[in-house]
A = this chain, B = another copy of it.
Amino acid sequence: MKAFVMKEIGHVGFVDKPLPRPGPLDAVVRTTNALICTSDSHTVKGGIGPRENLTLGHEAVGVVHETGDQVRGFQPGDRVLVGAITPDWGDLASQNGHPSQSGGPLGGFKFANIKDGVFAEYFHVNEADANLAKIPDEVPDEMAVYCADMLSTGFMGAEKGDIPIGGTVAVLAQGPVGLMATAGARLRGAGRIIGIESVPSRQKLARFYGADEIVDFTTEDVVERVLALTDGQGVDTAIEALGADATFQTAIKITKPGGTVSNTGYYGEGEFVRIPRVEWGVGMADKTIATGLCPGGRLRMERLLRVLAGKRLDPTPMTTHTFHFDEMERAFEVSDKKLEDVVKVLIRF
């Protein structure tokens, strides 16, 4: 079968690979739709170290092709979604409530990391009964595929932010995860949502997904402006959705005492991420810093699909580009180089 891989650091392309086979608890899925993620670019640049001919991609939906002999809940032909994170559910970290950390830090992240990803005609899913979810008829594939990572990660930012109904929230950066954090804040009942973003097309999407105010960090002092918008108090919750030291610092500064900084960003550079000492209340202002990695698993996916089936949210306006799998090289370039105001690139198989 055809697979789009990272040949080595800095190089991508197609290779031919054998069809994967499931172990007793696993499934193999025929891919129908996938999305390209910024993480794919991080990986290709060496963010997780060298890899050779590793299939890229971790956001996909498809049709069950084959199941292991102990799989009970799925059978060939089922239209399914699989989370970007596919935990080992018996692991101690999962038992501890942190399945994304099963098998070690970030260990639930298997696709395009410790095994082949989803940019291939078929892909393998561990613990199928626990990691697949059936897609309801009313949710099309190109919508469902957003649950795998974008909704799950963005909503996690809102959930870990512990937003009270009517609370104030700032979301720092309105890329696809930030947009879904904005939508997630809205879904949790935030009373006022401030989106931090400079790109006009993303500002527009931010408003679509629920931002009440937009602050453009290229023309305004974000800390000053957010404090002004919140009577000098700061927000209940700041969601960092970029993964940059400077943005993280801003998040601490604009959060009120007793508030939460919820991180969804991947920090790819530097030895440290720095907390501004004074604005952190010299370690005593009760500002919690929460982090996490995209929740996966069947229950999570079923709940996210219910959000779509219930018409609470339409993620498809984030699809700025659509390519066929054959055009993967161009598709990857558009996403990687952030060409043409790209937000998300959908791949059809």
Chain A contact residues, CB within 8 Å of chain B: 24, 70, 89-101, 104-106, 127, 129-130, 155, 158-159, 164-168, 184, 187-189, 191-192, 212, 233, 240, 243, 257-258, 263-277, 280-293, 297-300, 302-307, 309-310, 312
Contacts and interface: CB of A to CB of B under 8 A. Distances in A.
B303 A95 contact: no
A127 B90 contact: yes
A251 to B, nearest CB: 11
Contact of A288 (B272, B288, B312): B288
Contact of A276 (B272, B280, B287, B290): B272
A33 to B, nearest CB: 20
A312 to B, nearest CB: 7
Given A90-B130, A291-B284, A292-B284, A273 B273 contact: no
Contact of A284 (B106, B189, B280, B288): B106
Given A191-B312, A274-B272, A284 B306 contact: no
B95 A299 contact: yes
A309 B270 contact: no
Given A92-B233, A92-B298, 10 more contacts: A98-B286, A105-B285, A106-B284, A165-B303, A265-B283, A271-B276, A272-B275, A273-B275, A281-B293, A285-B293
B282 A266 contact: yes
Contact of A258 (B101, B240, B309): B101
Given A97-B97, A257-B105, A274-B275, A293 B284 contact: yes
Contacts of A300: 95
30 contacts: A89-B95, A90-B129, A92-B233, A92-B302, A95-B99, A95-B130, A98-B257, A101-B257, A101-B285, A101-B286, A106-B257, A165-B184, A165-B307, A166-B302, A166-B306, A191-B310, A192-B310, A240-B283, A266-B282, A267-B280, A267-B282, A271-B277, A272-B272, A272-B277, A273-B283, A274-B275, A281-B291, A284-B292, A284-B293, A285-B291
A3 to B, nearest CB: 26
Most buried by B among A93, A188, A291: A291
Contacts of A297: 95
A306 B191 contact: yes
Given A129-B90, A257-B98, A287 B291 contact: yes
B273 A307 contact: no
A293 B98 CA distance: 21
Contact of A307 (B166, B243, B299, B304): B166
A267 B306 CA distance: 34
B298 A291 contact: no
Of the candidates A271, A287, A289, the one having the most CB atoms from chain B within 10 angstroms of its own CB is A289
